[in-house]
Structure 1
Amino acid sequence: MAHAVLGGLVAMGWMVLPLARAGADAPAAPARSARATAAPAAAPQAATTTGDLVPPLVAAGAAGAVAAYGYGRRRRRAARTTPGGDPGLTPLHELDRQARRLLVETDDCVRVGAEELALAMDRAAGDAVEPYVYDLRHAEAGLAAAFRLRQRLDEADATGPDPAGGEDDRRDVLEEIIARCQDAGQRLDAAAPGFDQIRALERNATAALEFAETRFRKVAAGVRAAEATIASLHGRYAPAASLPVAGDAEQAKDRLLFTTSHLNQARQYADRGDGPKAAAHLRAAEGALTQAADLVDGVDRLAGELASATAGLPEAIAAAQAARDAARGLPPDARAALVGPLGHAESVLSAVRHETADGPSDPLDALRRVAEAAAGLAGAGGGELPDGHEQALVPARSALGGAACFIGTHRGAVGSEARTRLAEARRLLGPGSVPLSEVLRADDLAREARRLAERDVRAYGNPSGGRGGAGAGGAVLGGILLSDGEGGPMSYGGPRTRGRRGAFFT
């Protein structure tokens, strides 16, 4: 404030100075008649003096604006930290609740937007859907930035209490998360009417129904194959290996039951010429069908990952043994820092060898432990030892894929914390070369995301069927049907438009 006041005084001095200089330079007027005679000649001098006043006035105004901004900012900060402060300021806990809710809401909108956009791309020209692809990518980028901010905030919370001024910083981050989510949602809301024209479900329900029914038959066959695959995994590996997909075939059947019911209703309304109701039931069926396909694909994906881990485990063990032997060959002073990692590596290698020799095991978990042991040796050895980078990628990507599938097919119950960890794991395992430290961190985050999501689902319980008929409970759990009063199926769009077909869902 003092700086701003000083600036204002300097500006005022600059403004007065030309007047003082003009007064000192002008000769004394001898008589009233002389003043009248000289008046025309004085006009240019007056204009010059007025022009000289403009810069000082601008400076004074700027100084005043700076002073007002600083004063207002201090008042807002005081209101934030003073009990009974600014009543218009949203409490911090409420701001945090809004940020979490918007993260979940926006994530659901982006997921459904990607799902419905893929269906549109199957049946529409590429240039027609391109603007909506761009809008979705914009929303995805904003959501990813919001999740990154939330992750940093959670990491800061985990380190201990905030330092002085931490409440203001936390408020700023929460407001940024909210702003990014709102921007993403508004972008999708604005695109929704045009997207409906591209998909034209209300006008072309019959053609879309035929496409969905063909897809249904393919997914139904996949469910039967997934049941056989899960039975095979039970016989080949330890129970823990197939646990991530243990109930996926049954859930896929539940989604298909819902799909059958709503494809039938969509067909009936289409035959009657009621396009809006046909579109609403078709959209619900599409959502359930997509989740059933995801569950089937998840079983196939895990089977392939377990086979890859089984094939790669001997090489990983050999690499870890080579790293152990290299560590033992280091000079005594360098080897001193490796006592702990060497002991851990020996223990892990011995346990893995016994597990694989005694019968069915979990090769992904074994590969993870061996890779982590090799990474510990490499880290303690200053990077001179093999680090098991390639071996660590297999379990990390498996954990990421499993968490993504679980959260996507249970999103009606999963909160912001699990989604945030998943988003951070996905960021760390993004395209390009990934450092080993980030691979291991992504693996941890993906498994944490899965644990948190399973906790949320347990707390959510088993939703009742209610509106939507057979399989509606699973559809609500999967976020296919909205459970917040809108009741209808989710469609491409933001929070304001995503449930627009709910009025026709009867």
Structure 2
Amino acid sequence: MTSSLIRGRPRRASPSHISVRIVHTLVGGLAGVVWLVLPGMTINPGAPVPDTRAHPPAASASDAARDETSATYLLLPLAVVGAAGILAGYVVVRRARHGRTRAEPAGGRLVPAALPDLAELDGRTSALLAETDDRVRADREELDFAGERTGAEAVAPFTQALEGAEAELAAAFRMRQRYDDGVPGDDTARRHLLAGIVGRCAEAVRRLDAQREALDRLRALEGDGLGPALEVAEARFRDLTGRTAAAGATVADLTGRYGRTGTASVAGQVERAKDRLVSATTVLNQARQSSDLGEAEQAARHLRAAEEDIALAASLVTGVDRLASALTAAASLVPAALTGAEAALAGRRDPAADRVLTGVRDDLIAGPYDPLDALRRIVRAAGPPRDGVLSAAAWLVARHSVTTADDFVATHRGQVGAEARTHLAEARRLLLSEDPAADPLAVRALERAMQDTHRATGAPL
């Protein structure tokens, strides 16, 4: 069966055979040229043709000289043409051999030499994913400011474009997760997958760019200048100043109740928020001055910088508020979750799970502890299936892990690489489907994001 299929398939010439055929063709062509040129080059077209049938001519010195000259005229072009043919054949063979060396990797399969290395494509795609994610996040912040001033209806086209871009980016991250998981395994298919990621990112940016000019006009209200937009930013700034002061008191209270471990995820965030507010004060004043002087372009640039500072400070402060809510909810769930886990483990011997639950009970008695970490340990010890209080505990822990990782990426924009963002995007997707794998994946995303930030800034983990 196999042999018949092979016999029925036309054979493909190897590069060496092709080279030999080309050389043979050149030699045959040159022989034909010599065959056609030779008679013409041995005849003197200007001399009469004697009749040799009755009186054969005697050889003379002049005839011998003429014959020698004709031979010289014949040999010179033949030597030139022959040398050219040999040189052409040599070049063809060398090129074929060089092309074969470039095209054949160690495994022997032909790979087009023009294709970039897979590792190089991998790096380019990772950088593009991070850049696109930052762009989507920045446009979301800008749209929030515009929507607050003009209302949801006015920004509906921009909201739709942003949602489309977010969907394209989510698909790109999903493809990247498959790539990181080693699916598919074939190099050609992996190249195609990376090309698909690039296409998704390009489409996301295209959707945002299509509304860029219209959004700029909306923010300026086409003639009203940036005054209204400045007022919105200044109002947010004032509100955020009060929230930042309250967040400092919240962190101190949470640390007293749950220890430093419980508030480790927001350590230093209040101070960073204050730094951003100081920066926002400066650029807001510059935006106001430029606007009063009629320097619209410069005023818009300062305003956008102020909005970025305010949005970042808001994210830092909101993270503290979310942690306070999560810790309070987790603390109220821990006793019931312990009881539920013990009931789930009843009747089966699991010494490791029993040790985990005993450790949680010891922490409750010992003093300040992290209730979110305690819930995570309980949920993992109980294992699937989960329902009732254990399901609620798993959902609370996973949601907190995802939002914490997302806040960290948002507040360290430009420093976090594609791997952490890919894990985060996948954790978000799993969270929507209530998959328990969302929590450990979000934890990995946060750890990786912190490592990236440490490498970029040298700050301690």
Equivalent pairs counted in the alignment come to 363
SS at match of 1:400: helix
Q: In structure 1, what is the equivalent of residue 379 of structure 2?
A: 371
Partner Cα separation in structure 2 for residue 129 and residue 388 of structure 1:
41
* CA deviation after TM superposition for structure 1 residue 201, in Å: 7.1
* CA deviation after TM superposition for structure 1 residue 127, in Å: 3.7
Partner Cα separation in structure 1 for residue 140 and residue 157 of structure 2:
13
Partner Cα separation in structure 2 for residue 109 and residue 195 of structure 1:
15
Q: In structure 2, what is the equivalent of residue 86 of structure 1?
A: 112
**One-letter identity of the residue aligned with 1:348:** V
Partner Cα separation in structure 2 for residue 323 and residue 132 of structure 1:
49
1:343 aligns with 2:339: no
SS at match of 1:413: coil
Partner Cα separation in structure 2 for residue 250 and residue 182 of structure 1:
37
**One-letter identity of the residue aligned with 1:106:** T
Q: How does 1:76-475 map to 2 (within 5 A)?
A: 85-156=111-182, 166-200=186-220, 203=223, 204-325=225-346, 328=347, 338-339=348-349, 342-375=350-383, 378=385, 388-430=390-432, 434=434, 438-439=435-436, 441-461=437-457
* CA deviation after TM superposition for structure 1 residue 308, in Å: 0.4
* CA deviation after TM superposition for structure 1 residue 359, in Å: 0.4
**One-letter identity of the residue aligned with 1:240:** T
**One-letter identity of the residue aligned with 1:194:** A
Partner Cα separation in structure 1 for residue 420 and residue 141 of structure 2:
21
Partner Cα separation in structure 1 for residue 227 and residue 389 of structure 2:
57
Partner Cα separation in structure 2 for residue 90 and residue 179 of structure 1:
17
* CA deviation after TM superposition for structure 1 residue 353, in Å: 0.5
* CA deviation after TM superposition for structure 1 residue 79, in Å: 7.5
SS at match of 1:291: helix
Partner Cα separation in structure 1 for residue 452 and residue 9 of structure 2:
57
* CA deviation after TM superposition for structure 1 residue 7, in Å: 12
Q: Please give the per-residue CA displacement for 1:450-471, whole angstroms capped at 9, x wherever unaligned.
A: 11111011101169xxxxxxxx
Partner Cα separation in structure 2 for residue 313 and residue 232 of structure 1:
20
Structure 2 contact 148–232 (Cα < 8 Å) conserved: no
TM-score by length of 2: 0.74
Structure 2 residue ranges without an equivalent (≥5): 11-99
Partner Cα separation in structure 1 for residue 180 and residue 257 of structure 2:
40
* CA deviation after TM superposition for structure 1 residue 346, in Å: 1.2
Which structure has the bigger radius of gyration? 2
Closer, same or farther: CA 202–356 of 1 in aligned 2, 3 Å: farther
Q: Please give the per-residue CA displacement for 1:190-224, whole angstroms capped at 9, x wherever unaligned.
A: 22112111112785212211221111111011111
Partner Cα separation in structure 1 for residue 222 and residue 9 of structure 2:
66
Partner Cα separation in structure 1 for residue 202 and residue 357 of structure 2:
50
Partner Cα separation in structure 1 for residue 344 and residue 205 of structure 2:
50
Structure 1 residue ranges without an equivalent (≥5): 9-74, 329-337, 464-506
Partner Cα separation in structure 2 for residue 121 and residue 351 of structure 1:
49
Structure 1 contact 269–277 (Cα < 8 Å) conserved: yes
Structure 1 contact 147–423 (Cα < 8 Å) conserved: yes
- Identical pairs, percent: 44
Closer, same or farther: CA 323–133 of 1 in aligned 2, 3 Å: same
Q: How does 1:486-505 map to 2 (within 5 A)?
A: none
**One-letter identity of the residue aligned with 2:203:** D
* CA deviation after TM superposition for structure 1 residue 125, in Å: 4.5
Q: Which has the higher contact order (CA 8 A, sep 6+)?
A: 1
TM-score by length of 1: 0.67
Closer, same or farther: CA 386–279 of 1 in aligned 2, 3 Å: closer
**One-letter identity of the residue aligned with 1:353:** R
